Chains A and B, each alone.
Chain A
Amino acid sequence: MSVGAPRALASSGQKPITEILHPLSAAEEPLSVTVGGDKQEMGLTNGTPVETSSPASTSSLFNRLQLDDDLEADVRDPYADSTEMRDLFVTVDDPKKHVSTMETYITYRVSTKTSRVEFDLPEYCVRRRYQDFDWLRIKLEDSQPTHLIPPLPEKFVMKGVVDRFSEEFVETRMKALDKFLKRVADHPVLSFNPHLNAFLTVKDLNKRQGLALLSKVGESVKHVAGGYKLRARPAEFCAMGEYLDTFNQKLGTIDRIAQRILKEQSEYLTELREYGGVYSSWVGSEEELRRPLEGVAGCVTTSCGALEDLGDNMSLDFLPVLREYVLYLESIKNVLRKRDQSQAEYEGRLEAAILRKQEDRTPMPLEVEKCQDKVECFNADLKADWERWQSNKRHDFKQLLTGMADRNINSYEKSQAAWESLITLLQDKQTEDKTSETN
C-alpha cells in the first residue's frame, strides 16, 4: 500500500499527483470535513438519526440532500458549513425537443457552478443529449476502470411501447441523468476526470478533436485479455460478489412485486369507478337519499383520483430507481471482474518471473512490480468506492422506501378527508332535520 508517494496513479486525472490524496486517507482531505468526525449522528428535524459511516461520503451527503425534494425545508443543510467545501455543483434540467431532417431528439440543459481551478470559468451552461451522457460514461469506464461508475437510465426503449417524447418518460429520464451526473461530480476521483470537464464545458461535443489530446493524459489501465486465470479471489471481494448476486435477486423480486401491485391497483381502480357509477345512477330514482348517494359517489371518485396518482407516482419514481440499481450492480460486477483479471495478470507474471529468477538469477522485473502496484491500487480504489457505494445505496433506498410509504399515506389521507367531510355533512343534515321536526 503506497500512500502519499509520488507515483503515477492511473486514477489521478488532471490534478498533479502530489496534491491528490488516496481516497482511503480522505480524513485529511479538505473536501470532506465532517462535522464532528466519523460516525457522526446527524439529527433530522424529525428526530431520526442519519448515520454516515464513511468520511468520504459526508461531502456527498450535501449533494444528496440537494436531490431530496421530499425532505422538509428545515432539514436542507445540516452540513451548511461543509458546503463551503463543495466546489462543484451540476444540474440537469430544461428538456427540449429538437427536430431536424435526420432525426428528432431531446436535449437537456447541463448547468455547472464551480470554483475549481481545472475549470476556466466559474459557471457553465451547455446542452446535452442522451448520446453525450452515454459517451461520457464510456469514457469514464475506460479511463477509470478501477472505480464504480454510476449507471445511466436505459438506452433503448421499444418504439411503440413507450413514447420517447411523452412528458413522463422525459421527466423520468432527466431525473436519472441528473442523478448520474451528480454522483460523478460527487466522486473524489471521477469528478476530476478530463472527460467530465469536457462534457460540462465544451459547447459542441461533436468536435472530438480537442478531446483526443485529453485522452492521452493519464494512463488507463488497459485490461489484459486472456491467458491469466485467477486462482483465488480474496475473501472481501468474494463477499462483495456474493452480496451483489443476492442483492440483484432481491431487487428483481421487489421490481416484480411493485409491478404486480400496480397491476392489481389498476384493476381495483377500474372496478371502483364502476362501483361509484352505480351510486350515481341510483340517485335518479330517489329523493331523500339523493344527497347521501351523491356524496358517496363523490367520495368514491376522490378515492379513485388519489389511487390513480399513487400508481403514476410509483411508476415514475419508484420503478426507475430500482432498475437503475440493477444496472449499477451489473457495472460493479464488471469492475470486480476487471479486478480479478488484474490480479490474475500479476500472479501470472509473478510466477513466470520467479521461475526465471530461479533459472538465471535475474532480479524481479519492473513490470511485475508495476503489476503488483496496479492490483493494490485497484483493490484500494474498489474498496473505497464500495464503501461509498454502500453508504449511498443505503441513503437511496431509505429515500425510495420512505417515499413509497409517504405516497401511500398521502393517498389514504386524501380519501379519508373526503369521507370524513361527507359524514359531517350528512350528520349535520340529520341534526338539522331533527331540530326542525321538534319545532
Chain B
Amino acid sequence: MAEDGREESVAADDDSQHTAEDGRNGLNNTMVEESPTLLRRMEIYVAEAEKRSGKNAVNMQETFTVYLIETRPMDALAEGRNPAPDSLWRRYSEFELLRNYLLVSFPYIVVPPLPEKRAEFVWHKLSADNMDPDFVERRRVGLENFLLRVASHPVLSNDKILHHFLTEEHGWKEVVYETGFQAKADSRLKALSATFRVRNPDKRFMDMKHYSDELQSHTSQLLRARARVADRLYGVYKVHGNYGRVFSEWSAIEREMGDGLQSAGHHMDAYAASIDDILEEEEHYADQLKEYLFYAEALRAVCRKHELTQFELEMATQDLISKKQQHEELSTGIVRTFSFKGMTNKLFGQEAPEQREARLKLLEELIEEGEEAVKDKTVECEEHVEKAWVDVQRFKEQKDKDLREALINYAVMQVSMCKKGIQMWSNAKECFLKM
C-alpha cells in the first residue's frame, strides 16, 4: 500500500485517470479527512509480516506469522519532522482478541471485520495455504485496513484498549482480560432465544437484519461465482499457450512463413502468461467483497443485540406485571389468575396473617427491584436503539460508497484486461501479416 496516502493535506478528489490503486488510496484519504479520530493524530501501518516459531498454549512447537504495526504521531509530520515510527509485532490471534473485545464493549457499533482466517472462495490456482506468501500479503493489507477503519471510527477510535494495542507490545493481553469483557459477552443461546421470542422489536432493526441476510447472501454468491469464472478464464488463456509451441514447430518447416509464425508464437505465449497478473489484480476486488460479506455479520450482530435488549425489557416488564398481580391478589384476596399458591390456599386453607404480611413485604421489595430493572432495561434498550441507529446509518453510507468504488474499480480492471488482450492479439496479427 502506498505510504503517501495518509497525509492530512492530500485531497482525495481526482477525476483523471482512475486506477485501482487510486481507489484504495482514495478510501484511506477520505477516512482521514472525514473523521476527527485517532487516525488524524496518528499514522498507522501494518508494514511487514514475518514467520516466527514458538511454543503455544499446550507447549507444542508451532509456526505462525506476526505483523509489524508502525505508528507515527501526525503532529510530528505536520511540523516537518520525520521521526522513526514506533513499532510492535502482533499476530492474528491478538487482532481477533481486540475485535472480540470491541464487539462486546460496543454492541451498538457495526464493528469492522478482520480479513478471513482461512482462504476461502479460492479458484484452483490460488493457494489455500495460510503460509502462502500471497495469502500473507493480502492478509497484511486486510489487517491494516481493519486498523484504519477502527481508528477512523468516531466511537471506536477513542477506546483505550485500542490505543494499548497499537502502542504497548507487552502485557496488552492481560490488560484486555482485566476489563472482564468476556463476562459481559452474551451467550449465543441467550441471543438465539431472544430472536425467537421477542415480541415488539423495532421494525427498522428487523428490516436491517433482513438486509444483512441479503447482503451476506449476495456477496457470498458473487464470490463463489467469481472464483468459478476466474478458473475458467485461466483455462482459456492457458490453452492459447499451446499455439505458441505448435507455431514454433511449424515455423521450422516453412521458408517465408517461418519468422512470422515464430514471433506470433511468442506473442501467444505472452498472452497465455498475462492471465496470472490479471487474476492476481482481481483478488483485490474479491477482498473488498469479502470485507462486506463479513461486515454483514457485524450488522446482524447489532440487530440481534437490539432483539436481546428488547426481549430482556419485555421479560422484565412481564416479570414486574406478574409480581404486581401477585401482590394485588395477595392483598385483596381476589384471585384473578391461576396460581399454585391460590390453589393450595383453597385446598388447605389460607396461611396465617404474619406469613401473608411477610410475603407482601417481600413482593413489595421485588416490585421495587423490578421497577428499577424495567427502568434500567428501558434505558439500555433505548440507548442501544439510538446509538445503533446512528452507526447503522454511518455504516450504510460507508457501504454504499465503498462498494460503488469497488464496482468502478472492477470495471477499470476489466478495461485493462481488454486493452492487454487487444495489445497481445494485435502484436500477433502484425506477425501473421509478415508471414
A residues neighboring B (CB under 8 Å)? 46, 48, 51, 53, 243, 246-247, 250, 253-254, 257, 260-261, 264-265, 267-268, 271-272, 274-275, 278-279, 281-282, 284-285, 288-289, 292-293, 295-296, 299, 303, 394, 397-398, 401-402, 405-406, 408-409, 412-413, 415-416, 419-420, 422-423, 426-427, 430-431, 434
**Contact status B243-A254, CB under 8 Å:** yes
Contacts of A282 in B (CB 8 A): 218, 222
The answer to whether A423 and B411 have CB atoms under 8 Å apart is yes
Q: Which positions 254-287 of chain B face chain A at CB distance < 8 Å? A: 256-257, 260, 264
Known contacts A53-B256, A296-B407: does B425 contact A408 (CB below 8 Å)?
Answer: yes
CA distance A268 to B234 in the complex (A): 9
Residue of A261, A406, A431 contacting most chain B CB atoms (<10 Å): A261
Assembled-state Cα–Cα distance A299/B211 (Å): 26
- Tell me, in angstroms, the Cα distance from A422 to B221 when the chains sit together: 23
Task: Give complex CA distance A427, B225 in Å.
Answer: 26
A432 to chain B minimum Cβ distance, whole angstroms, is 12
Tell me whether chain B's interface is mostly helix, strand or loop, or mixed: helix
5 residue pairs A–B, Cβ–Cβ below 8 Å: A254-B243, A268-B235, A275-B226, A397-B257, A401-B435
What CA separation (Å) do A281 and B229 show in the bound complex? Answer: 17
Question: Which of chain B's residues have a CB closer than 8 A to the CB of A422?
Answer: 411
Interface of B toward A, CB cutoff 8 Å? 13, 15, 18, 211, 214-215, 218, 221-222, 225-226, 228-229, 231-233, 235-236, 239-240, 242-243, 246, 249-250, 253, 256-257, 260, 264, 400, 403-404, 407-408, 410-412, 414-415, 418-419, 421-422, 425-426, 428-429, 432-435
Q: Which residues of A contact B236 (CB under 8 A)?
A: 261, 264-265, 268
Q: Which residue of chain A lies nearest to B228 when distances are taken between CB atoms in the complex?
A: A271
Give the residues in chain B near A431, CB-CB below 8 Å.
15
Whether B232 contacts A264 by the Cβ 8 Å rule is yes
Q: A405 with B426: in contact, given A416-B415, A420-B415 (CB under 8 Å)?
A: yes
Given contacts A405-B425, A412-B422, A413-B422, contact A394 B256 (CB under 8 A): yes
A interface: dominant SS:
helix
A260 to B242, CA, bound (A): 10
The residues of A that contact B214 with a CB separation of less than 8 Å are 284-285
Closest A-B pairs by Cβ, 8 of them: A416-B418, A405-B429, A268-B232, A285-B214, A288-B400, A282-B218, A275-B225, A292-B407
Given A394-B257, A394-B435, A423-B408, CB of A260 within 8 Å of CB of B400: no
Selected contact of A292 from candidates B221, B256, B408, B418, CB within 8 Å: B408
- Known contacts A264-B236, A285-B214, A394-B256; A406/B229 CB under 8 A: no
- The distance in angstroms between the C-alpha atoms of A274 and B225, with both chains bound, is 7
Residue of B nearest to A275 (CB): B225
Is the Cβ of B249 less than 8 Å from the Cβ of A250?
yes
Q: How far is the CA of A253 from the CA of B239 in the complex (A)?
A: 12
In chain B, what residue has the closest Cβ to A242? B253
Contact indicator A423/B412 (Cβ below 8 Å) = yes
Asked if B411 and A426 make an inter-chain contact with CB atoms under 8 angstroms apart, the answer reads yes
CB of A406 to closest CB in B, whole Å: 7
Indicate if the CB atoms of A250 and B215 lie closer than 8 Å.
Answer: no
- Within 8 Å by CB of B432, from A274, A398, A420, lies A398
Contact indicator A419/B411 (Cβ below 8 Å): yes
- Which A residues touch B218, using CB under 8 A? 278, 281-282, 285
Closest chain A residue, CB of each to CB of B223: A278
Which A residue's beta carbon lies closest to that of B255? A390
A274 to B418 alpha-carbon distance, docked (Å): 20
Q: Contacts A261-B236, A275-B225, A415-B418 hold; do A398 and B407 have CB atoms under 8 A apart?
A: no
Closest to A406 in B: B429
Closest chain-B Cβ to A312's Cβ sits at a distance in Å of: 16
